[in-house]
Amino acid sequence: MSPGGPRRTLLPALLTLLLSAALALTTLTAPARAAGPGGSWTVREPGGPRDAVTAVVRLHPADGTLTLTARKGATTVLEPSPLGVVTSAADLTAGLRPLSRHTRQVTERYSMTTGKQLRRTARMTETRFTFAGRDGALLGLVVRVADDGVAYRYVLPGSGTVTVERETSAFRVPGSARAWLTPYSPNYERLYAPATAADADSGAYAYPALFRVGDTYALLTESDVDGRYDASRLAHTQGDGTYEVRLADPAVTAAGPLATPWRTAVVGDLATVTESTLVDDLAPPSRITDTSWIRPGAVAWSWLDGFGAAQRSLAAQQRFVDLSAARGWPYTLVDDGWKTTDWMPELIAYARQRGVQVLLWVHYGDLDTAAERAEFLPRVKKWGAAGLKIDFMDSDSQERFRWYDDILRDTARHRLLVNFHGATLPKGIQRTWPHVMTLEAVYGAEQGTVPAAGLTALPYTRNTVGSMDYTPMGFQFGTRTVSDAAELALSVVFESGFQNFAGSVTAYRDRPELTRFLEQVPTVWDETRLLSGRPGESAAFARRHGDRWFLGAVHAGAAGTDRVPLDFLGGGRWLAEVVRDGEDGGLLRERHVVTRRDTLDVPRAEHGGFAGQVCRYVPGRDTCDRAVTRLPMTALTAGPARTEAEPGGAAGVTGRFGVEETGPATDVRLSLRAPEGWTVDGADPTAAELATGEGLSADWTVRVPRDVRPGGYDLAVRVEYRAPDRPGSGVLRVERPVRVFVPEPGAVYVSDLPFAAERNGWGPVERDMSNGERDPGDGGPLRLGGTVHDKGIGMHAAGEVVVELDGGYRRFTADVGVDDEVGGKGTVAFEVVGDGTTLLATEVLGGADPARRVDVDVTGVRRLTLRVLDGGDGVDSDHADWADARLTP
């Protein structure tokens, strides 16, 4: 979303990999020997066909500078581009002379837990050069060439520490090359836009950057970045095609010998670019031996259906657990806001009973020290959390990458899956740390309006280098820029180990064909094929999982017809099911029996697309769907959420339970639980079976004991039921609270009085609840320092409430402070004003401060004003409570 101490690097293991030939199957060595002042050396992809990818390293005799040129066949995609490093001890950019050159063939076979292809074979030609500078300092240059691109890195030998002040590395693209670029920001959340290499505005650009030279493309990025170095970006001056590599830090210091990240160019046609695994191929192998606990999957994500208020509500999060259970999705993600509650262990237990695992959002600042991680990670693991969404890193510095090293080691130790938001770009991290399911680093759906041209640029740029958490399906949020079928297609077009589906329960219910497809589509792939498309215009993909192919296409532009070649299929007949836009705006499912010689014609809406799946056809088969284990989607409501009753009095309580989807529910019983000593009048209804659309209801009268003490009391409406299609799951239980407040005799609460005037800095003033968000009644309990208050006023700086007292009261009392819902943030001050005179003004109170007791003489006051002021540092998170605010006659 973009809603420490010293660290040891992982350098020894890294250098073992980088500086040895252990991974080579064959080594071809040119003897180390002195050479002349200049030279030119070609590194060619293994097996080098006529249109092979080649890299040419040249040492220029006039000044001893180095350049690298990259070609695909006869096409030069990178013109001679400067190489070199300046350290605090030596200038290794000029005056160089060659010492040695060694070439080997590198073949690596490895498996992934995420991505466009789970099992991979990387074949590369590697040449390692050694050059000496004017003062004898050594520069190692390692160049690798594969059939999908070129990469190089520097190796600075020697022990001790080395400080890199800058690289002279650059990529020189022909100035007329077409470009798709995104301005640099440390969270990579900017749109891609077309330009030409030379005419692009001056400034900093983020990886990956895509260029087209003739019919050949070059995607520029980097790989294998960790805490020994930092990340870089591209700097461009309008007028030519040079894009310089600029480090995030003024200087980088690390233990020697130092191997820098790989400067990488994926080279080939668009199919090569989108299907390439070069960035992962260059990264270090997995640091996790046992990956059996790492399971990608679909996630129900509630943020775009209620934002922070939904995250603070146990009932709302239980509903999204139920959504996952009803759809067969393995995960639910609870985002920012849950840490101000105390019900997370209860939610995780509720989800576990339904076969769903819970992922938790956490701010980077809560995990940026070893002590914080040592406390937090074991705690959430003990609760049963499956993983974390970690947000707001917002930096590419070496310090931040050292933190990535630490958090990935620690989360792996606790077997917690990871989703990074507000994060850097994938740079091979998912190979090295396979429990990283996805990263944001994209202008995604939570921005509200992502143009169709922006969507169709991402498959060729950002998503080529690793999993991308775009969060599709948020139909209830923002402005729709593509059709429903195109949005559905993003579940295939966009690759992500966690697909955080952002729709509401209602949005899915209104689109049954879309929901049915999302129950089937996987999040990891055995094979990926680009079928057609151009950046910023369209993208059509086929991705295979097991023996099924899934299709997805999205377009920016006019309506038309997609013509999908099926030559990626094997022989024989296949069943193709396509979900597309209908003329009435709904979604249609169509079936075709096809062969690999056929072309699938699919009508397309404006800014539209389609999704589909293809499986082997056998007579009688009419769907490719596989069985999905579903629990009933149910709803339990209890009312009123809060009520008042005098000692010896009574309160009415209602309970309503219904089966909304994927029924039936069996052995159903609805009941009310009250405190000891209270009596409940009314029957507890039961049903042997409730089909979809059926329900139970009950009305109870609760009688309060005469001797009860004033305060708040919790009752609970409970339903118990079973899911017949899942006999091993046992009894499922849901509870909804009802709070009964018993007032103190004679007390007058300000929240019960009419307001003569009111204003608030964020949303409305709330009665008997915290400020919450922008809508009336969206706050949580008034909570100060962990204590819940049933009565009071929730406000936000700068705000005030005015009540007419007409001289009828002697004292005003309250507990004031920043509500717990903002998690320790916020700073406010409180004022009590009577008839224009300030009667009390508090010091500035912060979110971590204890509540302050307010006791003010209001004798004779006719007009009382309760005012909340900003603490002097802006109004962010300034949620202020007047808890238990009362007047004494």
Residue positions annotated with a catalytic role: 391, 446
SS3 98: strand
Answer yes or no: are the C-beta atoms of 469 and 440 closer than 8 Å: yes
What is 4-27 written as a DSSP string?
Answer: -------HHHHHHHHTS-TTEEEE
The residue type at 674: A
Beta bridge partners of 795: 880
Angle at alpha carbon of residue 473, lines to 468 and 477, rounded to 5°: 110
Burial of 534 (C-beta count, 10 Å sphere; 0-12/13-18/19+): middle
Pair 770, 779: CB distance under 8 Å: yes
Which DSSP helix (H) or strand (E) runs through 490?
A: helix 484-493
- Characterize the bridge pairing of strands 587-594 and 574-581: antiparallel
Give the residue among 670, 604, 603 at the shortest CA–CA distance from 635: 670
Tokens 């233990």 sit on residue: 255
- Nearest CA to 310 out of 504, 34, 558 is that of 504
- The amino acid that residue 209 corresponds to is A
Task: Tell me how far apart the 2 most distant CA atoms of the chain are, in Å.
Answer: 103
Q: Which residues of 357-388 are buried (b: 16+ CB within 10 A; e: fewer)?
A: bbbbbbbbebbbeeeebeebbeebbeeebbbb
Alpha helices in 328-461 (DSSP H): 344-353, 370-383, 398-413, 429-432, 452-455
**CA 697, chain centre distance (Å):** 39
* C-alpha to C-alpha distance for 644 and 712, rounded to whole angstroms: 9
Nearest 5°: phi and psi at 520?
A: -100, -30
Q: What radius of gyration, in Å, describes the C-alpha atoms of the chain?
A: 31
- Residue labelled with tokens 């040119």: 30
Angle among Cα 328, 539, 496 to the nearest 5 degrees reads 35
**Closest by alpha carbon to 390, among 456, 336, 331?**
336
The answer to whether 795 touches 771, Cβ cutoff 8 Å, is yes
